[in-house]
Amino acid sequence: MLLFPGFANSFHVVATPRGALRVAPVTMADVLVIQNKGGGHGEIGFHLAQHLVSRGDAVTILHEGDGPNPKEAHRAYGELPSDVKVIWGGDLSEAAACLAKLEGASFSAVVDNWSKSPEAIAPYATAAKAWGVSNYAYVSSAGMYTPDKGDYGAVGEECAVKSSGQRQAEEKIAEMGLPFSYFRPPQYIYGPAQGKSYLAFFFDRITRGRPVPVPNGGDQLVTMTHAADNAAMVAAAVGNEAAVGEAFNCATPSLVTYDDLVRLCAGAAGKECEIAHYDPAGFDKPDGFKYKFPFRDTPFYVSADKASRLLGFSPAHSIADDISWYYSEQYVAKGGLDKELDFAEDDVVLGRVPA
């Protein structure tokens, strides 16, 4: 028996807060993915389409921009199954024109990986409400969290948030009565079809026999999440009534310290490493310069326990397992060993020359 007319059904077995198992119905859907052209989580759309199609969903991507551009996530679209429909929408802020490109199609679920304000999300949310969607999954940001100063534990979804444009977009779709789910990825995402390489900073120095400057004690914890795991969590919510009305931290639960990241990179490169801890105070001031360490000076990581409990989410990747791939495909294959680099700012931070 179909639980929702017009959908095929599958099931996720998930744990309740008391540990008992229950079955959450997941309905197969016609999914519209509203996709940005790049940025911190731009590559999630590529992996999301793969996940959804693999389980039997129909996928249409309404994509920002006028066609594939040199960005890696766009070049990879040719690897998607042929039945994924990609519509290049141009300027997605011109919502009426973009929605017209759908040619009257309707959808049972929407994943919005583009909107960053209530004004941007409103016309797409209005269309979704008219379609009667079962889910409106919105990818926002964990950057809205404002934990107490000095509290460096795992940030949960109940943490206080600032009123950013993305938070206001979350509030907008709730006010409109949509069956929303919020997904809040932290900044550090890696994987195929991803243009930004956070670990190039470490490889640049390790492969050239340079010390690797690391702020403070190097024991700061961070999550590095594979984009396919971000996408898998979002996919687990599409057609899943257990996800409705909930916010989820969209990250791996796997933690690693900055110093351990350096050591992992050195192992992948087959090199020794020298870690040089420094005091970041004084290197982020307007009268000096901001040293470009790729992560925050202080720890920042989120808890994914809620997604595990309600959606049955479990990551398939870890940076420790993927580091050799990262070195060969994200660094060496992209010319990292051949770059001309200037380490003058390193020398200032490390005290080798006067500031």
Burial code (b: 16+ CB inside 10 Å, e: under 16) for 112-126 equals: bbbbbebebbbbbbe
- pTM beyond cutoff 0.85: yes
Question: For residue 265, is pLDDT > 70?
Answer: yes
355: in domain: no
The one-character DSSP state at 156 is: P
Both 28 and 168 in a single domain?
A: yes
Both 163 and 259 in a single domain?
A: no
Task: Assign residue 271 the CATH number of its domain.
Answer: 3.90.25.10
Confidence class of residue 6 from pLDDT cuts 50, 70 and 90? very low
Both 159 and 15 in a single domain?
A: yes
173: in domain: yes
307: in domain: no
Both 158 and 20 in a single domain?
A: yes
> Where in the sequence is the domain holding 206, given as residue range(s)?
200-222+254-301+318-341
Both 141 and 284 in a single domain?
A: no
Both 124 and 59 in a single domain?
A: yes
349: in domain: no
4: in domain: no
Q: What is the pLDDT of residue 11?
A: 38
Both 175 and 216 in a single domain?
A: no
Confidence class of residue 23 from pLDDT cuts 50, 70 and 90? very low
Q: What is the pLDDT of residue 197?
A: 85
Both 149 and 262 in a single domain?
A: no
308: in domain: no
Strands ordered across the beta sheet of 85-90: 85-90, 58-64, 30-35, 109-113, 135-139, 180-184, 246-249
Question: For residue 129, is pLDDT > 50?
Answer: yes
Both 208 and 167 in a single domain?
A: no
Task: Provide the domain count of the chain.
Answer: 2
What is the per-residue pLDDT across 172-204, written as a single tens digit (0 to 9) for each? 999 999 999 999 998 899 988 776 789 999 999
The torsion defined by the Cα of 38, 43, 46 and 51, in degrees rounded to 10, comes to -150
Both 158 and 268 in a single domain?
A: no
Both 135 and 265 in a single domain?
A: no
Both 49 and 115 in a single domain?
A: yes
Confidence class of residue 76 from pLDDT cuts 50, 70 and 90? confident
The one-character DSSP state at 328 is: I
90: in domain: yes
Confidence class of residue 116 from pLDDT cuts 50, 70 and 90? very high
Q: What is the pLDDT of residue 9?
A: 40
Q: What is the pLDDT of residue 29?
A: 74
Question: For residue 57, is pLDDT > 80?
Answer: yes
- Stronger pLDDT, 30 or 151, i.e. the higher one: 30
Residue 173 vs residues 136, 239, 280, 302, 329: alpha-carbon distances, Å: 8, 17, 40, 23, 39
> Nearest Cα to 91, choosing from 70, 59, 116, 62?
62
